[in-house]
Amino acid sequence: MRIAFYSTKPYDKIWFEPLGKEYGFDIHFLDMPCNEETITLANNHDAVCVFVNDTITAFMIEQLYDMGVKVLLLRSAGFNHVDIKAAEGKVIVLRVPSYSPEAVAEHAVALLQTVNRFTHRAYIRTRDFNMSINGLMGRDLHHKTAGIIGTGKIGQAMIKILKGFQMRILAYDPYPDKNLEIEYVSIEELVKKSDVISLHCPLTEKTKHLINEESVSIMKEDVILINTSRGELIETEALLKGLLSEKIGGVGLDVYEEEEGIFYEDKSNEIMKDSNLARLATLPNALITSHMGFFTKEAMRAIAMVTLENAYAVENNLPLKNQVTLKQIMN
């Protein structure tokens, strides 16, 4: 199998190159993202491998089909960046449904603790030998209420950690897990009662802008908001208004609504044209990381293994347990 591997970073090759050789795959590593201009580079390949910021449109699906590309390998759990409807019956779409839920949950907690205790600002101060702690006062998480939106594997890992802080857990999920010893409530009640709100749900038509001006208006004063899931779950304008009015006490973002073309790239020598992102970056109570919640050795190894196992399953006519179909989405 010949695989066109888009959006390659040095850390991708560490895991995919040796594993690809073990499977006998011919992986063509490409530095550029997969888009309508670069999709033709997949010609004469059997499969295309893409990451979360490679948007695969219906037009691109048609091109892949015409070139004889049979498989679209997603090295991610999410698939909202792919037109699944257009792919149906033309290109097999396979994802990595779970690699390291703990990695993402641990990063979410790191964001929470950093935003709450201002450790990022304290680090900068002490490097300049400014030992003043004025303005860096946080709060105890002990016995506070955490609202977890989405109780899949990552949400459950987050709940386990926060229970260690003896936090009260409220949860919302359209498909509650009855085996979890937590209190499920409506999204409105969760937003109203939580001191910390952490997002761990997929991006769908129903969850887009789940956090908006209306939901911010009913939040507790000084609430902390954490998002390690998908950027479009939060309406950026509403977030900014909440932060500037001090209704939202702090935010930790590992994802951003308009991150495509920015995250995973070095923009340090450019003027940031995204005014909302530029404003967020200047706020003392906002912390942004570049979609790196998954980024551990264990997770990267798992992503590479499952992605190539998916390719192996196609090549050898084995069951495609990680296939994404239109029927799944509709359900």
Catalytic annotation, pick one of 230, 232, 235, 257? 230
Query: Residue 57 carries which side chain, given as an amino acid letter?
Result: T
Catalytic annotation, pick one of 45, 95, 200, 291? 291
Distance CA 6, CA 134 (A): 47
The yes-or-no answer on residue 230 being catalytic is: yes
Beta-carbon contacts of 88 under 8 Å, excluding residues fewer than 6 positions away, are 325, 326
Token code pair at residue 89: 């019956």
Catalytic annotation, pick one of 102, 232, 257, 259? 259
The yes-or-no answer on residue 259 being catalytic is: yes
Distance CA 209, CA 205 (A): 9
User: β-strands 183-184, 196-199: how paired?
Assistant: unpaired
**CA distance to 251, 318, 330, per residue, from 325 (Å):** 34, 17, 9
> Would you please indicate which residues are annotated as catalytic (active-site) residues?
230, 259, 291
